[in-house]
Structure 1
Amino acid sequence: MAAEARDADFIDRARQGWRKAWPGLDTSGMELMGRITRISAQTVQLLDQVLAPAGVARAEFDVLCALARSERPLRASEVTAATLFSSAATTKHAARLEQAGLVQRRRLERDGRVVLLELTGTGRALVETEMPRCMELDRALLEGIGEDELAALAALLRRISRNTEAYAAR
């Protein structure tokens, strides 16, 4: 029991708190989903720290990466879909990135209501510099987990991702 208490993380302590506060509540889903959510929040904070010297936040970097992966300029709505940001957040990030000289915004010629976003040379250079640093953080966070374990975990998380996408589409 002492080893279990020593190895307990925030989610273990939260579940224990819920068992005391609401004894009949089934918190088994928190075992995984709570950890996924917490790891995500912690990773966002760490990525913000990694990216701070480059002058961009993780959310802005997500916009830059969506554009870097595309072979063509993207509609603002496509960036919104790729990043899961709201339309307003995408607009805010695009404006900030344009002001920083990292993104160019232009209207679609045949439909002036559509805004296209594309990386500038400076934006592409930033992604090419910072993406390896972000991947280095990922490797550090996964340290000590074997290749087979990582493959199994990735497969399970992919299933959870599909379930989440299907649930959101209902």
Structure 2
Amino acid sequence: MPTHPTGPDYVERVRLSWEARYPDLDVRPIDLIGRITRISSLALARVEHQLEPSGIGRTELEVLSALARSDRPLRASEVTSVTGISGASTTKHTERLVKMGLVARERLERDGRVVLLSLTDAGRELVEREVPVRIAGERRLLDGLDDHELDVLTDLLRRITANAENDALP
């Protein structure tokens, strides 16, 4: 893979180091998976930094966003399902969001054991303020790619995601 005029990037330097140490090993996956991992780390760090003034973290924004996208209150298990975070994490973050006045808990009338979660007005305002900022930041990561390239990249990453999900530990 050719280097850019400014020299190899972080991931390429890592790959070149492995290639030098293990010349018989095909280390090309590092170019892709290493970049996916690096992009993820940098993007998530940016989101955490942007959210600092609001007093919440990225995972809490995920919980709020799940509730904002729903047309009805959700059970904690449903929030867990749509966010992909663990049940324990959902509980921990929900507790904090309730204390902050961003999420409301209500018992299901016909079964008082079931607790439903919904956004408060303050929670909805926070989501409506922060999600566009997050999306704008993600859009900047895609600068320079045209619609066709975005479609191709989306398809390729969808296929890699499917491979990862099929290969996931039980």
State if a TM-score over 0.5 links the two structures: yes
Stretches of structure 1 that go unaligned for 5 or more consecutive residues are: none
Distance 2:112 2:29 in 1: 47
Distance 1:167 1:63 in 2: 26
Work out whether 1:154 is the aligned partner of 2:154: yes
Work out whether 1:20 is the aligned partner of 2:13: no
Where is the helix percentage greater, Structure 1 or Structure 2?
Answer: 1
Q: Return the offset for 1:93.
A: 0.7
Q: Secondary structure at the match of 1:168?
A: coil
Residue type of the partner of 1:97? L
Q: Secondary structure at the match of 2:45?
A: helix
Q: Secondary structure at the match of 1:115?
A: strand
Q: Secondary structure at the match of 2:72?
A: coil
What's the counterpart of residue 31 of structure 1?
31
Q: What per-residue deviation string (whole Å, max 9, x for no partner) do you get for residues 13-33 of structure 1?
A: 111122233333332222212
Q: Return the offset for 1:4.
A: 4.0
Residue type of the partner of 1:167? D
Q: Return the offset for 1:68.
A: 0.6
Q: What per-residue deviation string (whole Å, max 9, x for no partner) do you get for residues 92-149 of structure 1?
A: 1101111110011234445555432211111011111111111111121111222221
Work out whether 1:64 is the aligned partner of 2:64: yes
Distance 2:63 2:83 in 1: 7
What's the counterpart of residue 136 of structure 1?
136
The 5 A counterparts of 1:117-136 are 117-136=117-136
Distance 1:139 1:120 in 2: 28
Residue type of the partner of 1:138? E
Q: Secondary structure at the match of 2:85?
A: coil
Distance 1:106 1:8 in 2: 54
Q: What per-residue deviation string (whole Å, max 9, x for no partner) do you get for residues 1-49 of structure 1?
A: 9954734221111111222333333322222122111111110000112
What's the counterpart of residue 88 of structure 1?
88
CA RMSD of aligned residues (A): 2.3
Stretches of structure 2 that go unaligned for 5 or more consecutive residues are: none
Q: Return the offset for 1:57.
A: 1.0
